[in-house]
Structures are given as C-alpha cells and as structure tokens.
Structure 1
Amino acid sequence: MADPYRSFGRGYSAVRQPDPRIARQVHAALGPAATVLNVGAGAGSYEPDGRGVLAVEPSATMLRQRPPGSAPAVCAVAEHLPCVDDRFDAALAVLTVHHWRDPAAGLAELRRVSRRQVVFTWDVEVMARYWLVREYLPEIAERERGLANLDAVVRGLSGPDRRVVVQPVPVPWDCTDGFLAAYWRRPHSYLDDDVRAGMSGVAALPSDVVRPAVRRLAEDLGSGAWQRRHRDLLDRDSLDVGYRLVIGTAIS
C-alpha cells in the first residue's frame, strides 16, 4: 500500500507536538483503561504515560519519527488490526480516520479489539466556517466532505447496545499541535511552508490552489484587512473550530 505520508510527512513531528491541554482531555476520555491500542499512531502524539500502550501505524515515514522510548509499534492498518478480540481496555485514534482506506471497517476493528473507543476527529461543517477555510481555502472543506469525519465516526461506533458521547475540543490560542486550525489567532504561521506541510488538509491540495491563497492571506495581513475582519479573535483564549472527541462504550 502506498505511504500517504511519504510526500508530506517528513518533519511532521517537528510541527505536530501534542498540546498538553488537549492531551488532558484525550487521556481523561480513556477513563481507567490500563491498556490502550493507538491506531494510526503516527509519531506518537497523545499516547498516555503510565498505561500499557501498543501503537499501530502503516506509514514507515511516520514510524521513523517516533522518539526513543515511545511505546512499541507494529506496522499494520486499522482495517486489519493484529490483535485478538477484546485485547485492550481502550482504543485511541487521533486525527487519523480520514486517512483510512475503509473507515467503517477500521472503526469496526476498534470495537472488536477494545471495550472503549476514543476517536479525535472533526465536524467538517463547523470547520468549513473557520476563517482560513471560508475565506482562503474552501477547497479544504470540499475535499474533506468526501472523507470520514464526525458523522462517519459516530455511525461507526454506534449500536443498540452502545453509548456514544461527543465532546467539543476547544483549541487554545497557543496550541502546540500544528493541525489545520491550530493557528486561528496566529495567522502569520500559515505563511510558513513547513507549518503547512504538517497539515494534511492543506498539503493534499495542489500547489496552484494553495499558493494563491497564501499570497492573498499575506496581502491581507500586510494591509491589516485580516486584523480588521477578525478583531474579535484577538482577545480569545480558545476557540471551537470543529474538533471533536467521540467516545464509544458498550452498555453493560
């Protein structure tokens, strides 16, 4: 299988450092789980300390970026997890389901191997209203409406004997994890090629779409037009830009 991160995953770990405030919410969602399977684990962001963690990641590019001392990792895909039924207390999937070849099959596998599932994803319709997407790169929302996001995850974790809870994940203004909307109050960051390379939603678009948008943003920042349009953001400490935690558990 082709490695989707071969073209834009290099240097990923440098700009995608887990944010401690988001990490606290993710780890709280895992509940008392002593064993955790991290699926689509990438470079290891948000893997909890003090629990038995096994990482699953199909990309060699990402596996090479896991730091020394991180949890053991196996090269496998979400749709075929190399684990027996109910092997883990919880399964974790952080901003990864949209990369899976068959999200429904992958989510079914999370349910098969764990008693609790925690999936960090996003609501594409909320994200479509984010200023970067709405004003500069609407192509992001157009593309991502065809990918698995919040609705697909909720369906995949639902069932008559299951409870599914959706939690908003507010993004702090100084978020250290450089995902798409991390820089909602730091617009100059989007002018940096290395920063954009860590955002699959941007990196997957053609350069003839991205470069004119970045040029318009630079012009708006230089003229003060962006600041005038978004002065309401400048005093905010956090913002709901559509990120969600979906927590699925069996009803006993």
Structure 2
Amino acid sequence: MLLTLDTIYKDKRWISFREQLIDERKNKENGLVYCEHCGKPIINKYDLIAHHKVELTEDNVNDFDITFNKDLIILVHFKCHNEIHHRYGYEGKKKVFIVWGAPCSGKTTWVNNVASPTDLIIDLDNIRQMISNAPRYTENKRLNSVVFSLRDYLYDIVKTRNGKWTNAYIITTEPFKMARERLERKLGASSIFIDTSQEECLQRLYSQSDKGSQWVKHIDEWFESYEQ
C-alpha cells in the first residue's frame, strides 16, 4: 500500500518502526529517551516526535531509504520539533492537532508550552472567558449556544485552512472515540492524548483554587466513560 503524507503516521509499518527506534535509543541506565535537539529527557510519550532530517513530501514519502532510514531520523520533543521547522523554514501545510484527555489532565498547559504565537488555539474555556464577565471555568448554560456557535465558526476556519496561522490545536475532553475520529476527518487532524492518571488529575484539581468541587464529578465521570 502506497503511503501519503496524510496516512504515513497511522500506517502500521511506521508505528512499528517508530516503536523499535524508540526502544533502541532509550538510555540503558534509566530507560529514558533524550531529545536529540535540546538534550533533555522526553518524559511523556505524547511529547515525542520522530523528525525526518530530509523533509517528507508526496514525492519521497514512498522512498523507504528516506522514510524508514534510522540515520535520517532524530527523536525530539514536540516543542523542539516546532523550533526545528521554524528555524529551517519548513513551511509545509497547516497542521491540526486534537489535544484530548481528562479534565485537569494538563491539556491547556501542554498546548501553551508547545504552541507558537502564530498558532491557532481553540478551547471552549477560552471562548467562555472571552465572551463573559464570569470567572474562568464557571459553567453558564445560558451562553452555551453562543459558545458552541463561535467554536463551530473557528472549526470552519480550520477546515478550510483559512488565514495565515501556522498550526491549530483543538483542546477537548471528548471521551468517545467515534466522536474524536469524526472531528479528525472533518478537520484533517491528528490526535494527541494527554495520558494523565485519574489520581494525578485530582491532585491537579486540588491545587487549582479557581475550579469548584463539581470538577471531582467531571473527572470521575470522564474516567468511567472514555475510550482510548
């Protein structure tokens, strides 16, 4: 089966190759993978990118001497990968990432850490805060129709790749696989799962004074229903 830039990273051959590459480059003493750009350990699996030194194109993606050449691939942080592309002027096409996970899993923190000033971030919490005088994370169902209309308008901008933004990050707690896959198809996006345990989510909640006790219920319900 021929590869394309849209299918390569979901192809079983690439997934198996990537896992083998990660295993080979783990530090023998502590089992960590170190970023080959900044030299720091890559703690979370979702933060690890296999970067091709030779930029992949539709013309060369099926050249396995490039695509599956270990000597032409470095393992780097997601943020470092963005820095590499900006530094060497790899424009390419706009990329869209659906960043999903439980409430209080650290989705927004991660996106704010990796996104550049020219990236587009779509987050319901940001939209609610923007159009209301209520404190952040306040649930106001009377504004939901406006909030979702604004979100859908931004989705249309992402879908058509309208504007001069670089990458787009969609932050969501959507627990259901089919719903995430529909959004992936609609927006031409790939998903990044912020894999945080229920215990850690609760610890993060207790450290955030701006979220009420009802968020314990949100976290519990999410872990009861989510599909990876």
Q: Do they fold alike, i.e. is TM over 0.5?
A: no
Which structure has the highest helix share of the two? 2
So what's the TM-score if we normalise by structure 2?
Answer: 0.32
Q: In terms of Rg, which structure is larger?
A: 2
So what's the TM-score if we normalise by structure 1?
Answer: 0.29
